[in-house]
Amino acid sequence: MIRRTSHTARRRCPTYARCVVNSRLRAAVGAVAAVGAAGLTYATAIERQLYTLRTAHLPVLAPGSQPLRVLHISDLHMLPWQHAKQRWVASLAALAPDLVVNTGDNLAHPAAVPAVLRAFGPLLNVPGMFVFGSNDYFAPKPKNPARYLMPRGRKKLVHGPELPWQDLRAAFIEHGWHDLTHQRVPLQVAGQSLFAAGVDDPHMQYDRYSTIAGRADAAAVVRIGVTHSPEPRILDAFAADGYARVWPGQRPAGTPGVLA
């Protein structure tokens, strides 16, 4: 009987080392599963409630120019029931910005346009400019985390159903904001001449920089490039054309900056 037991154990695990390895692999898989569950809980229950406000002073204006306060907002990924987020964004109007730069991914739900407009509230009365990101065009869809370890060329674009981005665009334009999608726009802000240009989302390969290529207006006190995805080829193209400041998206919440 003892030999039979030993024989059975040996068939299941021929060597002690293999038993140890198998045990450690099971423990590792269990640990990864636990960490994954904890990360999911943090991302869904905690992190999405943490709104970020950062301030930076950017010395990009021509000498003698008056400072401009710019509020950069990106990646709200708004859901209709996120009332705390809507109140927080609306509270940013107290910063009294001279200009709002919106770099996309406003939406995360087909019924979120009214929620986004409530969030911006009084900020819609401030001069503004915008481009869209992939999650303005399409609803987010869960992705396999392992795809981020794959070579860039092997990744497939994954997205959900189309979102009502046309309605959001119409509302922004109705309030006087400039759609910079493949546009070069001169504008006056706080009595000063600015020049801005933007592209559609490079992450979706929607960008057509050739439509806005060329030197930015040198007479403007500051020249601004706007894109949702900070692809190096787009950032380099803006820099080569003389844009002193490029605002990319794919960063959370609000980033006010003082241009001096």
Q: How far apart, in whole angstroms, are the C-alpha atoms of residue 126 and residue 93?
A: 9
Show the low-confidence residues of the chain (pLDDT under 50). Answer: 1-12, 28-29, 31-47, 148, 253-254, 256-257, 259-260
- What confidence score (pLDDT) does residue 213 get? 96
> What DSSP letter does each residue of 102-126 carry, written as one string?
E-S--BSSTT-HHHHHHHHGGGGGS
- What confidence score (pLDDT) does residue 61 get? 79
CB neighbours of residue 211 within 10 Å: 13
Q: How far apart, in whole angstroms, are the C-alpha atoms of residue 68 and residue 215?
A: 23
- What confidence score (pLDDT) does residue 161 get? 83
Domain at 53-259: CATH architecture: 4-Layer Sandwich (3.60)
Where do the H-state alpha helices sit in the chain? 2-12, 16-41, 83-91, 113-120, 134-137, 165-174, 232-240
Torsion of CA 223, 229, 232, 237, to 10 degrees: -40
- What confidence score (pLDDT) does residue 87 get? 96
- What confidence score (pLDDT) does residue 1 get? 46
- What confidence score (pLDDT) does residue 124 get? 98
pTM of this structure: 0.75
